[in-house]
Amino acid sequence: MMKKMMMISQLHKVCTITSSSHSHESTIPHFGIFVRDRCKSGNLRIEEAKDLFNNAIQMRPLPSIYTFNQLLGVICKLRQYSTVIIMFKSMDSVRIRPVLVTFSTLINCFCEMGKVDFGFAVVGYIFKSGFEPDIVIFNTLLKGLFKENRVKDAIQLFNKITEIGYECTDVTYLTMVDGL
């Protein structure tokens, strides 16, 4: 309990403007550093991660997408996949522009939930957003297909990505070997 109080106190210091000579904008980098450190600590719990996300989404100007990606990544590692999806929708509603890492995390959540088709829908959103999926995203989709026992679809996807010219990684090949 004492540790949580100390964390709240630290967060309060980061988020509070302490004098009139500081602009609100100067707290944004400090908040980002605080979030990074908490995410890297390995002991960030889901409630604290949600609180940090809720603080971040209300800040003006908004923190960088990197800060949001760190939080989404930790929450995904905590296997709170539906929470990540809800947070992504919240980010979209306040027009936080996702980057490829954001999409990759979202796709991973869908695949882990056994909803790889939603992951493929996100690929469409990636193209609409002006990005191109990378091999990491395709590796995640391959893993998701195998998880759903869709071996034929995984083989077709593998053939398609190699045909298009994506350079497969060791992870790609290991995913294929493990899945077959």
pLDDT of residue 30: 87
pLDDT at 7 over 80: no
Q: Which residues contact 69 (CB under 8 A, 6 or more apart)?
A: 99, 101, 102, 105
Q: Are residues 88 and 1 in the same domain?
A: yes
Q: How much of the chain, in percent, has pLDDT values that exceed 70? A: 84
Q: Are residues 112 and 166 in the same domain?
A: yes
Q: Are residues 45 and 110 in the same domain?
A: no
Mean pLDDT of 106-130: 97
Please state, in angstroms and rounded to a whole number, the distance separating the CA atoms of residues 166 and 121. 20
Domain span holding position 5: 1-97
Query: Is 78:49 a contact under the CB 8 Å cutoff?
Result: yes
Q: Are residues 106 and 154 in the same domain?
A: yes
Question: Residue 165 class from Cβ within 10 Å (0-12 exposed, 13-18 middle, 19+ buried)?
Answer: exposed
Give the pLDDT band of residue 114 (cuts 50, 70, 90).
Answer: very high
Query: Is 148:114 a contact under the CB 8 Å cutoff?
Result: yes
Q: Estimate to the nearest angstrom the gap between the alpha carbon of 25 and the chain centroid.
A: 24
Domain count, the chain: 2
Picking from 62, 97, 132, the residue at the C-terminal end of a domain is 97
Q: Are residues 76 and 124 in the same domain?
A: no
Q: Per-residue pLDDT tens for 42-60?
A: 899 999 999 999 999 999 8
Q: Which residues contact 83 (CB under 8 A, 6 or more apart)?
A: 46, 50, 75
Q: Are residues 80 and 8 in the same domain?
A: yes
Q: Are residues 160 and 79 in the same domain?
A: no
Give the pLDDT band of residue 26 (cuts 50, 70, 90).
Answer: low
pLDDT at 83 over 80: yes
Give the pLDDT band of residue 10 (cuts 50, 70, 90).
Answer: low
Q: Are residues 134 and 89 in the same domain?
A: no
pLDDT at 12 over 70: no
Give the pLDDT band of residue 25 (cuts 50, 70, 90).
Answer: low
Q: Are residues 105 and 77 in the same domain?
A: no
pLDDT of residue 14: 47
Largest CA distance in the chain: 63
pLDDT at 27 over 70: no
Q: Which residues contact 40 (CB under 8 A, 6 or more apart)?
A: none
Q: Are residues 150 and 164 in the same domain?
A: yes
pTM equals 0.82
